[in-house]
Structure 1
Amino acid sequence: MQPSAPHARSKHCSHARFQGSPCGECSDVHRHIVHLSEIARDTKHHTNYKFLGLGHMQDIAKTYADQIKQLKLQELNHSHKYMRLLTQLDDYNRLLMAISKKDIPRIHQIVDVALHHGSSVQEVVNKLEDALEGAYTPRGYGANDLDITTLVVRLGGCQLLFALHQSLGLPSLCTLHTKSTFTSIFDQNIQNIKHSHTIEPVLRTYESAVNIAQKLHDGELHLGKELTVIGASCFGEDEIYPILAAPTCKTEDATDMEHILSRAIGSWNRTELVGPIWHAAGHKLFVKFPLPLPPESPLYGTLVNLQGLNLFTSEGEIMLDFDFKHIFKHKYFFLL
């Protein structure tokens, strides 16, 4: 037997039908039931739990379970974060204790190398401990290390440098020779320059000193008042290497200075040890530049399009440059 369909009837039903339709009171019951179903399906958030159905209670329980899982995950993340911070604080304390209680050689270089490689504080502390045990020695020396090593060699010799290399981590003598450039001064004078060839410039006897004094008194020999220095610098480096130093009595003319500089450039080119000279500059640079830059030069295609650029060079394509020191000096002189 099939179950009958559910039906609802108003308490105030008149038991009268009109063309198969229920009475007015029963028709209002249907609309009320539809409204109740909508309320049951879409409840308000402030509805008391005792008025909720089983489906809503299951949804609320699932929401709370998801919140519990999210809070547990946040708790684990915060725990890991706090443990990491505590580990970092412990590493910092270890670093401070290692620096304060132990004399670590070349600690600045160790920390600098470690930070350059992106090491953590723990790795830095491990490097310091290895350095104390002699298992690690940082590579690379700065200009100050090389200067101190040079001073140690000049004052104390190689044995003192070896002792400081073992105790303080200074560069060794082999490293000093590899990383530094030493200027060798040798006794080779440019002859036939003004008056220096008229006497013996080295005081070997008392008579040579008297002869020099007499020449100075008679005006045949002049005393050097300034020093003419010619230096060379390589592109990409800040150092300037002196290649000639000659005293001057301020009586030389442009021809003399041109002769000195020409001989220096010629000697440089004949050695062929470093490379060609690209440009020259100086306060008393009187070398003539009569030759235009040849079209077959690799620079011609680039420089020819620069209007106003001086393309005259000397032999070997040496171009004239400015002496910025004297440009700045004249500028400030006019400002004053």
Structure 2
Amino acid sequence: MPKPAQRLSSERKFLAASSRLDDYQRIMMAIVREDIPCLQAIIRRAFRNHVSLKEILHRLGNAMDRAYHSRLYTDDDFDIARLCMRLGGPKLVYALHQYTNIPSLRTIQRHSIRIQIRPSLGTISSIEVGANIRSVTQFVTARAARGHSFSLDETALEERPRYYPESHSLGGLCCEHSWRVDARITCLESILIISEKLKENVVHWGKEATVGAVSPFSRDSYSPMPILVSPTCKKESPEKMVDTYKIVLQEWDVVAPRLGSIWEFGSDGDPSRRASFHPFLMQHTLRPSDPLYGELARLPLLNLQTGPQNITMDFDYKHLFKRIMHLLRQEHGIMIGDCLITPDILVRHLRRLSGMDAFKVYALMNPHDKQNVPSAVQLLCSVVAVSKLPTDGLNPSEQKICAALTVLGSWIASIVEPFIDPSMSLTQQLESLSTAGHVMLALFSFNRSSFIPGAQYHDIAAMVKNAFFCVAKQKILDSDGEFFLSQLGDDRLENLFGRVRTLIHNIRNVDLMQLTDHIGSASEVDAVMMRHPSWDAADRRRSISGSVSVDHISPACWTGDVHVARVSLFTSWTVG
């Protein structure tokens, strides 16, 4: 029989355990029944300070009464607060701080360094390009060697002057002609002189802004880094554009040893951009001493001309899809061998597809729908489907048309499928693009511009060539790495413009100062979304079977093997 002292000790232990169990139950009930602001932070701080269960319960009670706020914030807390700040503004941050105890506006400002983008207030110079590169790369750490794409595109500007006090200058004048006036505002007379020159059409307000961004080739961190914003009146000469490219390369070379070099220049196919790309990026032929020569020299008919640092030009595949779509809709049709495929013929054969009624065919062939990428892909895929239909029972004339459609469908499939079929391996993608290049060469040799315009032939051929060059560069840089063809072109810069439109709620154009501010904010949003892809609705659209999702393909969607070590460029080229 236990002694009285032992019995008393056991009773005390039992009461203490019962009390702790009761505290646990009360904590659990409080969590289940009440919406406690910043619950994780409260529990985390309590355990870090080794406080008792009763104290935890007391703090939870105070939190429910809004009398206690934990200030132990995680990186995720700051990320969601920054996101709320950029997308919703200070009032949303304040409301959520009161309700869920996310970091306050002042706390966000103390723990954040904004990405500052400096526009070119005159002729593009290394000063603002270098400053922008330092701003966007200050916290970037490359976990592995990787290449980059430099892409250029334009976005609309509100033609309005803005004063920049740090340089005492007027912003918004076109970069092409701003050298004709002194943009520095020193007195009223300088403003009147600029006003007079605007009336005389000596200088202009920029109707658009040229934006340049560098984007890494990577599975996870691939956000575009804007390094160039310049107003333009769309009259810049190719020679001036080449000067800009040289400045970009010169300034990027400062960070290239840490982050990686630029492999390609991407564009949407703008004629002026093509005119500047060609002389700059086709300067010399690969030399036998170059490592790339060993990878690419054996590929028959492959153009081996490159620019400085072996940079090649590229044209965005989505814009190429749209241009092929326009080609199919044009009244004069497209020549395949000795057969002319007109829109009327295409409509008649599209109606043969199962489930394709007159309304759907009209929607696909609507010439006024020029910018819809999913619609373009749906039309191109429908032509591919038509090319595979049986031809039994057709008359000889229809048989001839179907034979031409088979060739056309094969060519279109070889261009489109590498970018929309996430199950394709990198080897299969390259084989398909090789097929596209060789079939296009044969058809263009026979039909010339009756098949496709020369500029379109140039851009598709450049896209195919660039894909092989970039994979070769990845093999040399890191043979164990991956490469995603979907990251070629300027699509990521287009996505940045989409972020900007989200920030301004699509209500109007912005002036130069507003654009640079919003581009900086959009870059911060992009960086947060890269760290938390599940927060971004676009990255959660995993179903690529329907063409509506083509506009949102990302590396996370790709299931095919894209390791460059398993790719033989020679085999892919010759099989294609």
TM-score by length of 2: 0.31
Where has structure 1 moved over 4 Å in runs of 4 or more? 94-97, 128-140, 149-152, 171-176, 186-189, 270-273, 305-309
| Number of residue pairs aligned between Structure 1 and Structure 2 | 222
Q: Given residue 290 of structure 1, which amino acid in structure 2 is its aligned partner? A: Q
> Aligned match of 1:234 in 202, 205, 216?
216
Relative to structure 2, which stretch is displaced further, 281-290 or 187-196? 187-196
Check the 8 A contact 2:38/2:70 in 1, yes or no.
Answer: no
Query: CA shift at 1:227, angstroms?
Result: 1.3
> Aligned match of 1:214 in 180, 185, 196?
196
Check the 8 A contact 1:131/1:137 in 2, yes or no.
Answer: no
Q: Distance in 2 between matches of 1:297 and 1:106?
A: 59
> Aligned match of 2:233 in 246, 249, 273?
249
3-state SS of 2:229 partner:
strand
1:121-200 matches, cutoff 5 A: 132=60, 139-141=74-76, 144-148=80-84, 155=90, 164=97, 168-170=101-103, 173=108, 176-177=111-112, 182-185=115-118, 189-190=122-123, 194-200=176-182
1:176-325 matches, cutoff 5 A: 176-177=111-112, 182-185=115-118, 189-190=122-123, 194-236=176-218, 237-270=221-254, 272=256, 274-282=259-267, 283=270, 284-285=273-274, 286-287=276-277, 288=280, 289-307=282-300, 309-325=302-318
Q: Given residue 316 of structure 1, which amino acid in structure 2 is its aligned partner? A: Q
Query: CA shift at 1:96, angstroms?
Result: 8.2
Query: CA shift at 1:310, angstroms?
Result: 3.8
Q: 1:295 to 1:326 in 2, by over 3 A?
A: same
Q: Given residue 248 of structure 2, which amino acid in structure 1 is its aligned partner? A: A
Q: Given residue 234 of structure 1, which amino acid in structure 2 is its aligned partner? A: P
Q: Distance in 2 between matches of 1:138 and 1:327?
A: 47
Query: CA shift at 1:251, angstroms?
Result: 1.8
Q: Distance in 1 between matches of 2:73 and 2:108?
A: 17
Check the 8 A contact 1:231/1:242 in 2, yes or no.
Answer: yes
Q: Given residue 146 of structure 1, which amino acid in structure 2 is its aligned partner? A: R
Q: 1:168 to 1:295 in 2, by over 3 A?
A: farther
Q: Distance in 1 between matches of 2:108 and 2:38?
A: 18
Mark the structure with the bigger radius of gyration: 1
Deviation string, structure 1 residues 193-236 (Cα, Å, up to 9, x no partner): 64212212244533222211211222222332221111111222
The answer on 1:98 being equivalent to 2:91 is: no
Report sequence identity in percent. 23
Check the 8 A contact 2:73/2:103 in 1, yes or no.
Answer: no
Q: Distance in 1 between matches of 2:294 and 2:195?
A: 59
Q: Distance in 1 between matches of 2:207 and 2:230?
A: 11
Q: 1:219 to 1:140 in 2, by over 3 A?
A: closer
Q: 1:202 to 1:95 in 2, by over 3 A?
A: farther
Q: 1:195 to 1:187 in 2, by over 3 A?
A: closer
Q: Distance in 2 between matches of 1:135 and 1:176?
A: 17
Q: 1:217 to 1:104 in 2, by over 3 A?
A: closer
Check the 8 A contact 1:104/1:131 in 2, yes or no.
Answer: no
Q: 1:295 to 1:96 in 2, by over 3 A?
A: farther
Q: Distance in 1 between matches of 2:111 and 2:299?
A: 45
Structure 1 unaligned regions, length at least 5: 1-90, 111-127
Structure 2 unaligned regions, length at least 5: 1-23, 43-55, 64-68, 126-174, 330-366, 368-576
Q: Distance in 2 between matches of 1:135 and 1:260?
A: 50
Q: Given residue 296 of structure 2, which amino acid in structure 1 is its aligned partner? A: L
Q: 1:247 to 1:149 in 2, by over 3 A?
A: closer
1:34-53 matches, cutoff 5 A: none
TM-score by length of 1: 0.50
Q: Given residue 207 of structure 1, which amino acid in structure 2 is its aligned partner? A: E
Query: CA shift at 1:328, angstroms?
Result: 4.0
Deviation string, structure 1 residues 84-126 (Cα, Å, up to 9, x no partner): xxxxxxx9xx97862541314176x99xxxxxxxxxxxxxxxx
Q: Distance in 1 between matches of 2:241 and 2:37?
A: 55
Check the 8 A contact 1:149/1:176 in 2, yes or no.
Answer: no
1:60-139 matches, cutoff 5 A: 98-105=31-38, 132=60, 139=74
Check the 8 A contact 1:278/1:317 in 2, yes or no.
Answer: yes
Q: Distance in 2 between matches of 1:300 and 1:253?
A: 33
Query: CA shift at 1:333, angstroms?
Result: 3.8
Which has the larger share of helix?
2
